[in-house]
Amino acid sequence: MAIFVQKFGGTSVGNPERIARCAMRVKQRVDEGHKVVVVVSAMGHTTDELIALAGKVSTTPSRRELDMLMATGEQVSVALVAMALESLGVPATSLTGGQAGITTDGAFGRARVTKVSRERLDRELTLGRVPVVCGFQGLSRDGELTTLGRGGSDTTAVALAAALQVAEHGGACEIFTDVDGVYTADPRLVPTAAKLARISYEEMLELALLGAQVMHPRSVLFGERYGVPIHVRHSQRPDEGTLICRETPDMEDVMVVGAALKPDLGRVSLRRIPNNPGVQGMLFEAVANAGIMVDDIVQTEFGEIASISFTVDHGDLADVKIAASQVLDKVGTGELAVEIGLAKVSVVGTGMKSHVGVASRMFTALGAAKIPIHNITTSEIKISCIVGREHAQRALAIAHEAFGLDKIGSKSQAEATAV
Amino acid sequence: MAIFVQKFGGTSVGNPERIARCAMRVKQRVDEGHKVVVVVSAMGHTTDELIALAGKVSTTPSRRELDMLMATGEQVSVALVAMALESLGVPATSLTGGQAGITTDGAFGRARVTKVSRERLDRELTLGRVPVVCGFQGLSRDGELTTLGRGGSDTTAVALAAALQVAEHGGACEIFTDVDGVYTADPRLVPTAAKLARISYEEMLELALLGAQVMHPRSVLFGERYGVPIHVRHSQRPDEGTLICRETPDMEDVMVVGAALKPDLGRVSLRRIPNNPGVQGMLFEAVANAGIMVDDIVQTEFGEIASISFTVDHGDLADVKIAASQVLDKVGTGELAVEIGLAKVSVVGTGMKSHVGVASRMFTALGAAKIPIHNITTSEIKISCIVGREHAQRALAIAHEAFGLDKIGSKSQAEATAV
């Protein structure tokens, strides 16, 4: 008998019929003799509707009150899912985040889980009941309702799975969603993309940060820290999905497991500026103060003169330009250049660490296709190239093919290596 | 500086515009220098919508899960009202029933308040903030969300007002609703009905039990027990409403403060049955087991032979007839009669206790109008007559006029006595 945490997203519980299908999914695991804890998000567009309602009452609602409001979305879902389970003969108990033992800090709207107590869950499981827990929310030590921010329900599921030690009990955290697993690339962009049977936390994290939307990076980090096996599956189909787990030796034999695309980037360059200590700090503090997330940073220097380039989302370019100009005024010398219409193509794989020639294979493939590379950044397990937006989708497909990703899918990665 | 508890019902917070007007109402009290605690119900038809949603998921949802679901309605309201207050510059904090210190027993769907802790409310008030509390709900000692059942938000308001000792601090519990106070009769039935400036708890309780829908009997009882002044006011109009308070000596000078009508009653009579000990118990246990509320009971006896009559809502007659027949079979002798098309007209007033001739004045008035009286029941502070439904509304108007109720309104009752 294993323990499974099953998480259903907003689309999966979007209406009474879908809720009934989720309940069937839970019942299957229960019928197999396993213990199950369910985590659910708010139904469909509930969260958006609540935000719109708040907007009609106040132009500047406080984060605390928004959390009080938002938390009702998941509470509706858990009650309905528990009812659906009971109507199938599966004893179930809905629980708010707080009741389920999730303690957070007091940062409304983006609270961090600080503690998970498993007492209540254990009590329900011992009684043979299925706890159905509100995702996305917790209770602060002061007894305030908090929400976890983006990707919060996944984080709830992984945190509960960690507390319940599902790995030690042969179970997993199952994330049911509207895709059937993690693909070697976004299938809408690369039709030959294949579903991965397994992927390591590190790889998933890089892919998530690079634009893959299957899992939020935060929940993957949580899973890595506590070694929670995360199984990403389709909520309406029975197939096996993708298992996110610790890197195993055979995984290293695969150089690359996925390719990702971030479209619509812009690049800001400060050229010929004096490379004084502190100039980088001044620049990126100004950018951060403007509330802008920076993608990649590249610096080159020639003696005491440096150039700094960084990419940002296209929509942030205007704000970045203002902030960067002000810094340049303070520095006193140098010039500012802004390029638009860029995109970033990346490949990710733990295997890169032990293989040579990964970068050259990517550059050669893009070169053969006559796609100019504007910038290169690498980490231990990824290589990213900035290309023109007009080449972006083709560059993704070329990188995908160059590493044989279309042949990797649905086989174990050890098998895939043999290809 | 007084403490006021202000309760707004579902209609009063039915949309963002109305919420804004409620917030203005609260701000007025705050601007006067008072401390205010707000209690709100779920918006408009939210509760009905949630029940409908539950019905689509399960035909027999558990009371616990229904409470989990229902409790979200008030939680949405408190967040929005708190936001509206803050946007007017009034610092506010929304609180669930549990956060506000309301402990209940574990009877889901009809929980009783067992304890009110004022710590959190005091903390918010000391900080100069307005606590906005979910009506209708609490937390059981096991940490379960419970709802208080019908009239629950009024009960929450009165319970908080009791805990905060508003009477001792010169405040009151203000119930804002869609009528502007308690009337001497339902103004839709008796156009000359007048608004009462004051009414005692006992009188309000009788009127509520006799069909007046302004306040739920339960919250009136709570107010009586803890001596909470309850001010019933219109949520969208500034006028003074009706104060429900302890009986004062001058109140006794007024014989009757209100007349009420229960239409659509039926009467069941068991005639010529042996007056054995236990026969009444057997009968009303059978009726109660059928889930039927009994209105008034009258028994007459001649030696060892008795007749028992009781009135019930018209819609319950068929079920009552079955239950009563079965009892008659067991008793072995007697006959069953069922009358339909009845109504009950009542007058209520604490002053009856010290005045003679109240009953005769009512009977004389009805007699002069040639309205036959089928049954009479009295308590210390009320007289009820069963009449034919076809005479009901006229009988109500006649009783109303016979006691000068059209002249009582909007004056203090001491003044009214002088009329």
Interchain CB distance below 8 Å, B68 and A79: yes
**Which residues of B are less than 8 Å from A47 in CB distance?**
none
Per-residue pLDDT of B275-319, as tens digits, reads 877 888 888 888 888 888 888 888 888 878 888 989 998 888 988
**Which residues of A are less than 8 Å from B19 in CB distance?**
57
Distance CA B245, CA B173 (A): 11
**Which residues of A are less than 8 Å from B64 in CB distance?**
93-94
Chosen CATH of A258-418 out of 3.30.2130.10, 1.10.8.60, 3.40.190.10, 3.30.420.10: 3.30.2130.10
Between positions 39 and 78 of B, the ones with CB within 8 A of A are 50, 53-54, 56-62, 64-66, 68-69, 71-72, 75-76, 78
* pLDDT of res. A409: 57
B163 three-state secondary structure: helix
B contact test, residue of A67, A76, A119, A140 with most B CBs within 10 A = A76
- Is the pLDDT at B346 greater than 70, yes or no? yes
The DSSP call for residue A183 is B
Interchain CB distance below 8 Å, A57 and B84: yes
Closest by CA to A374, choosing from A359, A392, A360, A388, is A388
Buried b (16+ CB within 10 A) or exposed e, B253-264: ebbbbbbbbbbe
> 10-residue block means of pLDDT along chain A (419 residues)?
95 94 96 97 92 94 96 97 98 98 94 95 97 97 92 94 94 92 92 93 90 84 94 90 89 85 91 85 87 83 85 89 90 90 92 81 92 87 92 95 81 37
Task: State phi, psi for A153 to the nearest 5 degrees.
Answer: -70, -35
* pLDDT of res. B209: 83
Interchain CB distance below 8 Å, B86 and A78: no
C-beta separation of A221 from A146 below 8 A = no
Residue A313: C-alpha distances to residues A89, A211, A259 (Å): 50, 12, 19
* pLDDT of res. B367: 92
Bridge partners (DSSP) of residue B230 are B173, B244
Higher pLDDT, B307 or B130: B130
Q: What percent of chain B has pLDDT over 90?
A: 67
Interchain CB distance below 8 Å, B65 and A54: no
The DSSP call for residue B371 is -
Provide DSSP, A204-245.
Answer: HHHHHHTT--SS-HHHHHHHHHHT--EEEEESS--S--EEEE
C-beta separation of A190 from A397 below 8 A = yes
C-beta separation of A404 from A375 below 8 A = no
Higher pLDDT, B3 or B209: B3
User: What residue in B sits closest to A21 (Cα-Cα)?
Assistant: B57
Interchain contact B19–A (C-beta under 8 A)? yes
* pLDDT of res. B411: 44
* pLDDT of res. A140: 96
- Give the nearest partner residue to A68 out of B61, B65, B94, using CB atoms: B94
What is the pLDDT averaged over residues B79-88? 98
Provide DSSP, A38-102.
Answer: EEE---TTHHHHHHHHHHHH-SS--HHHHHHHHHHHHHHHHHHHHHHHHHTT--EEEE-TTTTTE
What ipTM is given for this predicted complex?
0.82
C-beta separation of B365 from B346 below 8 A = no
Show the CA angle centred on residue A368, arms to residues A367 and A370, nearest 5°: 60
Interchain CB distance below 8 Å, A87 and B59: yes
**Which residues of B are less than 8 Å from A76 in CB distance?**
50, 53, 69, 72
Q: Where are the domains of chain A?
A: 3-178, 258-418
Q: How far is CA B90 from the centre of its chain?
A: 32
C-beta separation of A345 from A210 below 8 A = no
CB atoms within 10 A of CB B407: 13
Distance from CA of A10 to the nearest CA of B (A): 16
- Cβ-in-10-Å burial (0-12, 13-18, 19+) of A332 comes to exposed
A contact test, residue of B50, B56, B83, B85 with most A CBs within 10 A = B83
**Which residues of A are less than 8 Å from B82 in CB distance?**
62, 65, 68
* Confidence band for B354, pLDDT divided at 50, 70 and 90: confident
C-beta separation of A298 from A308 below 8 A = yes
Q: Tokens 């958006």 label which residue?
A: A48
Interchain CB distance below 8 Å, A66 and B79: yes
Distance from CA of A81 to the nearest CA of B (A): 8
C-beta separation of B3 from B173 below 8 A = no
| Residue B380: both structure tokens together | 């210390």
CA atoms within 13 A on the CB side of B98: 22
**Which residues of B are less than 8 Å from A59 in CB distance?**
87
**Which residues of B are less than 8 Å from A96 in CB distance?**
145
Task: State phi, psi for A3 to the nearest 5 degrees.
Answer: -110, 130
Show the CA angle centred on residue A252, arms to residues A250 and A256, nearest 5°: 120
* pLDDT of res. B113: 94
**Which residues of B are less than 8 Å from A72 in CB distance?**
72, 75-76, 79
Q: Which amino acid appears at position B76 of this protein?
A: V
| Residue A100: both structure tokens together | 């389920």
Distance CA A292, CA B192 (A): 68
Distance from CA of B123 to the nearest CA of A (A): 12
* pLDDT of res. B414: 37
Closest by CA to A232, choosing from A159, A151, A160, A178, is A178
Distance CA A22, CA A18 (A): 6
- Give the nearest partner residue to B19 out of A57, A69, A80, using CB atoms: A57
Interchain CB distance below 8 Å, A72 and B75: yes
CATH H-level, domain A3-178: superfamily: Acetylglutamate kinase-like (3.40.1160.10)
Task: State phi, psi for B262 to the nearest 5 degrees.
Answer: -110, 110
Interchain CB distance below 8 Å, A61 and B86: yes
* pLDDT of res. A415: 38
| Residue A197: both structure tokens together | 């049977």
Interchain CB distance below 8 Å, A62 and B83: yes
- Is the pLDDT at B415 greater than 60, yes or no? no
CA atoms within 13 A on the CB side of B141: 5
Buried b (16+ CB within 10 A) or exposed e, A48-70: eebeebbeebbeebbebbbbbbb
Interstrand relation of A242-245 and A230-234 (parallel, antiparallel or unpaired)? antiparallel
Between positions 78 and 117 of A, the ones with CB within 8 A of B are 78-80, 82-84, 86-87, 93-94, 96, 99
- Give the nearest partner residue to B78 out of A62, A68, A94, using CB atoms: A68
| Residue B198: both structure tokens together | 């004051």
Interchain CB distance below 8 Å, A57 and B20: yes
Note the pTM of the prediction, 2 decimals. Answer: 0.84
A353 three-state secondary structure: helix
Per-residue pLDDT of B149-168, as tens digits, reads 878 999 999 999 999 999 99
* pLDDT of res. B413: 41
Residues 6+ apart with CB under 8 A from A345: A259, A260, A261, A384, A385, A387, A392, A395, A396, A399
Distance CA A126, CA A133 (A): 16
Distance CA A164, CA A171 (A): 10
Q: Tokens 């769907």 label which residue?
A: B109
